[in-house]
Chain A
Amino acid sequence: MGCNASTLAKIHNVDELILETGFSSSHICHLYNRFHSLDKDDKGLLNRGDFQNISELAVNPLGDRIINNFFPDRVDLIDFNSFARTLARFRPVENSPKKEPDSPEPINSRANKLKFAFQLYDQDKDGKISNNELLQVLRLMLGVQVTEEQLDNITDRTIQEADLDGDNAISFEEFKKSLEKVDVETVLSIRFL
């Protein structure tokens, strides 16, 4: 799995990608190799089935939702650039103090990481996690081991804790606030090398 200029040359718009995602060229090479190993039929594109071959996603109760997050609306095949862009959110946050005040928020900022997680729960993309969506997630996670009544208790309690404006659903702001003590930068980061 060599990483060299020829690999980089195969990627479309590689400089723009590097700038946007913040990856270094060796990161991009590694990701490209991984992309190709996932792409069994050598189409140069990935579909949902290729992702489901990964065992960690297959046993994950939210695996399908994670896969869906890679595919924007109504698109069933993604190319390497969008693959890299989605993965860029998991790049570890560097603690560099220099920050231009008017530069756009980097793609791996805490807010964007949380946004990714939020989208896993907000299936209908209305910007809020409702009672029903929470119930669905709980059923995926707990299966049949918990009674309906207990599930209802849990969802009610969760919404009661996190909901600040009383609309019986959790918006992205409330989601962020409830997780403000969780060390999201470490937990939602993957070291690629």
Chain B
Amino acid sequence: MENTLHHVVLLLSVFFWFIWCVQHQIIAKETEHAKRVSHLSEKHCSIEEMRHFGSSVASYFIFLRWMYGMNLVLFGFTFGLVVIPELLMGLPYGSIPRKTVPRAEQAKAMDFSTLWDFDGYCKYSVLFYGYYNNQRTIGLLKFRLPLAYLMVGIGTFGYSLMVVIRTMASNANESGGDGEDSDFNFSWKMFTSWDYLIGNSETADNKFASITTSFKESIVDEEENQKDENIHLRRFLRVLANVLILCCLGGSGYLIYFVVKRSQDFATRDDLGWYEKNEVEIVMSLLGLVCPPLFESIAELEEYHPRIALKWQLGRIFALFLGNLYTFLFALFDEVNQKLAVEESIKNATTWATHMHYANFTGNTSATPPPIDPADEFVKLTVSDIQVTYITILVGDFLRAVIVRFLNYCWCWDLESGFPSYAEFDISGNVLGLVFNQGVIWMGAFYAPGLVGINVLRLLTSMYYQSWAVMSSNVPHERIFKASRSSNFYMGLLLLILFLSLLPVVYTIMTLPPSFDCGPFSGKSKMFDIILETIELDFPAFVGNIFSYVANPGLIIPAVLLMVLAIYYLNAVSKAYENSNLELKKKMQMQRDEEKNRRNNQDSTNSIMKDLEDLLPIKSGGGKSTAPANKANTNKNDPPQTAKGAGKQGEVSRNGSRVNPEKEMLLAAQNPRIAVTRPPGPRPPGPLPGNPQLTVPGQRGRGQPQRVTSSNQDPLFLTPEGKVASRNWFCDHLCLRLFRAGLPPDNYSGHSFRIGAATSDAFRNIAPHIIKAMGRWNSGAYELYIRKNIFDLLSMQKKTLCD
């Protein structure tokens, strides 16, 4: 009977190794093919379905999967280096007191209820610290089990630290490239959202939904940027909300302390109901359930931007969990210290007793104190947390969905859109639960190696259970926001909790004396001594010398100083890079605006126009006040510039004139460059001929309208730059206007005006000598300018014929 448990454990461990290898293969293959095919493995496919709910839900499951991978590795270490050697090479169950169920408990040891409480056989198995023997080497291979135990304990933290920081660094790398504000947000969403490798119609539907969600997110994001508020009321409400929340946090901390103290009183009694035995865990889980919605409703007072509100919410929940955990720990430590004092007295008694009764250890059960409680408490906490989570999902999400769905037919108001409706998937709560759980595991893994295995099982089942729950009974959020665009926020929380769970463990390793007959360090004054012992006995002498030099405070303090200075220097360097990045971005933005400006002022990409404008004097921004006039002018009489259909282009340019005023206002605001250099014109610019729309300052809103003064000596016709309109300039512009009008420029010249004036005067029967005078002709050449109207000739001809 005693051995079956061991066999079961052995089988389970082999199974886990197998799973680890297979998973490793899948994960490795996935990363290899990730760029090629988007839905290769089944898990990846189900995560694709999650994207339907918005990218944040999918990111939760990706996070879950990442944690599962990390836990699997930790589990591999623990099992491979600690549990298996103890099982295979250590003393078997029942050979020494710490490995045997005390006689008093043996009757109930195999009961399910006892096992469920992690008592009985579970307590005296590899799951717990107390089981391990403190022999320095075991088995044929001289495997140093206590040393391995300590190193694995420390290595767990080291590995987790490394993995978390590496992930944070790679995330920062990805997102740091273009920063938080993307210039082409909507364009990218429009042009690049579809995944062309989707071939399944259901997946396609999910993809549609996720694209829609993403667009809606962006629109709401834009809207939120344009809200105004009453500052004082806001501030008051925010302070009030924070005070309320602090009260809640304090209250929950006190409650936990009270309950733990009460459980110590309970431990001395025997007639405990189920509630009293599990009071601590129940209270902690309940607090974790009740407080977050409470915080959320208090946070309604604050009215932050949804993303910021989410961050506050997460921070508060985190503070809640941390406070609870640390209060719990402190209460436990009180208990442990008390127990240690008791142990000291028992130790003296038992040493004497074991000397006497070494051969009959089975009789000495009453003198064996229980192993240190924290391990047990952690395991029970984890298990109850799992239970509560699963039951919450079952009741809160699934049952609710079933009720809403089926009762809706016979209920007065619409359940689906009204009060209960379907549950939304609470991402922040779930992520924090996961992070908090991992913290508990880290803390407890040193004392209960089996805890990591339990966690692996929990994560594996969670993945499938929660994804089923989400797909079957949840609806996508109405307002979707991620706490941050990279997942570094959650990684940061994980890192924080890693440090915080490292502290108690390191404290116990360095300071607290281990229990004297439990666990691999029993008999030593500090757990740390095992390392010193190994160095003394196993390594050559000089290694010991090196260690004693290195451990000298005289060497450690300068090293710490150096590290602090290095951190300061690197910080300064990264700030400098950030600044130069910002400068570059600003420059690029300015350049782009200038280009936009320049193009708007020119308003044509025609190559002929470019050639012509090269003939003109340099513009250098002097055309500001005339540019809108030019634009209006050309829009007025401007048919298409290219050979394509007339209607559309005209439409475009008409639209252009509608849209552009606002654009020009925007551009004016962004482009602060004023005309610094003006062409060395002889006189200040006068009003342009024939351009009544010169300045409409109210509408355009451009800088200062230029003051124009004129005198009698000014030339009548000026170019926009203020120079005298020369013959060449005039003719070039004429060609241009004709070309734009669709008329062939070759048939016209400067003289065409004189021809037109003379012909139209003759048509009105104005006397020839007056025509001659008006055109300043000195000779009879004016006659050549009068073009004969063909119809006049014909009618004259008819007249003469008839007569």
Contact = CB atoms under 8 A, between A and B. Distances in A.
Interface of A: 55-56, 59-62, 117, 121, 126, 134, 137-138, 141-143, 145-146, 150, 153-154, 157-158, 161-162, 164-169, 175, 178-179, 181-182, 186-187, 191
B187 to A, nearest CB: 4
Contact of B183 (A55, A161, A167): A161
A165 B605 contact: yes
A178 B188 CA distance: 8
B219 A154 contact: yes
Contact of A161 (B186, B193, B656): B186
Given A61-B194, A166-B656, A178 B215 contact: no
Tell me if A's interface is mostly helix, strand, loop or mixed.
Answer: helix
Contacts of B184: 161-162, 178-179, 181
Q: Which of A61, A168, A169 has the most CB of B within 10 A?
A: A168
B197 A56 contact: yes
A57 to B, nearest CB: 9
A60 B194 contact: yes
20 contacts: A59-B200, A60-B198, A62-B194, A126-B648, A138-B190, A142-B212, A142-B215, A146-B215, A158-B190, A161-B185, A162-B187, A164-B596, A166-B659, A167-B653, A168-B652, A168-B655, A169-B652, A178-B187, A178-B191, A179-B187
A150 B201 contact: no
B35 interface: yes
B192 interface: yes
B188 A182 contact: yes
B644 interface: yes
Contact of A60 (B204, B644, B660): B204
A166 B204 CA distance: 36
A192 to B, nearest CB: 11
B212 A146 contact: yes
Nearest to A146: B212
Contacts of A138: 190
B600 interface: yes
Contacts of B222: 157
B656 A167 contact: yes
B224 interface: no
Interface in B195-237: 196-201, 203-204, 208-209, 211-212, 215-216, 219, 222
B599 interface: yes
Interface residues of B, number: 46
B652 A59 contact: no
A59 to B, nearest CB: 4
Contacts of A178: 184, 187-188, 191
Contacts of A161: 183-187
B691 to A, nearest CB: 21
A161 B186 CA distance: 8
Contacts of B204: 59-60
A166 B652 contact: no
Given A60-B204, A168-B655, A145 B183 contact: no
A81 to B, nearest CB: 24
A191 B197 CA distance: 13
Contacts of A167: 652-653, 656
Contacts of B187: 158, 161-162, 178-179
A89 to B, nearest CB: 14
> When A and B form their complex, which 5 residue pairs have the shortest distance between CB atoms, in order from nearest?
A59-B204, A56-B199, A158-B186, A178-B187, A165-B599
B208 A166 contact: no
Contacts of A60: 194, 196, 198, 204
B303 interface: no
B276 interface: no
A166 B653 CA distance: 10
B178 interface: yes
A137 B190 contact: yes
A56 B196 contact: yes
Given A142-B215, A186-B35, 20 more contacts: A55-B201, A59-B203, A59-B204, A117-B191, A137-B190, A141-B208, A146-B212, A150-B215, A154-B215, A154-B219, A161-B185, A161-B187, A166-B596, A166-B603, A166-B659, A166-B660, A167-B652, A179-B191, A181-B178, A182-B192
Contact of A142 (B208, B596, B648): B208
Contacts of B186: 154, 157-158, 161
Contacts of B178: 181
Contacts of B596: 164-166
Contact of B211 (A141, A158, A181, A182): A141
A187 B222 CA distance: 28
A154 B652 CA distance: 20
B36 A191 contact: yes
Contacts of A126: 644, 648
A178 to B, nearest CB: 4
A182 B183 CA distance: 12
B526 interface: no
Nearest to B666: A160
A179 B199 contact: no
Given A161-B187, A168-B656, A153 B219 contact: yes
A150 B663 CA distance: 21
Contacts of B714: none
B595 interface: yes
B592 interface: yes
A141 B178 CA distance: 27
A141 B663 contact: no
A150 B213 CA distance: 12
Contacts of A62: 194
B607 to A, nearest CB: 15
Nearest to B664: A166
Contact of B198 (A59, A162, A187): A59
Given A142-B212, A142-B215, A164-B595, A179 B190 contact: no
Contacts of B201: 55, 59
Contacts of A59: 198-201, 203-204
A164 B652 contact: no
A122 B328 CA distance: 65
A126 B649 CA distance: 11
Q: Which of B194, B200, B215, B216 has the most CB of A within 10 A?
A: B215
Contacts of A187: 192
A142 B193 CA distance: 11
B475 to A, nearest CB: 14
Contacts of B663: 166
B468 to A, nearest CB: 25
A143 B208 CA distance: 8
A141 B194 contact: yes
A56 B186 CA distance: 25
A116 to B, nearest CB: 12
A143 B191 CA distance: 16
Nearest to A128: B652
Interface in B379-419: none
A55 B215 contact: no
A166 B200 contact: no
Contacts of A145: 208-209, 212
A28 B202 CA distance: 33
A55 B597 CA distance: 47
Nearest to A165: B599
B120 to A, nearest CB: 57
Interface string B454-467: 00000000000000
Given A126-B644, A145-B212, A150-B215, A134 B190 contact: yes
Contacts of B656: 166-168
A121 B656 CA distance: 21
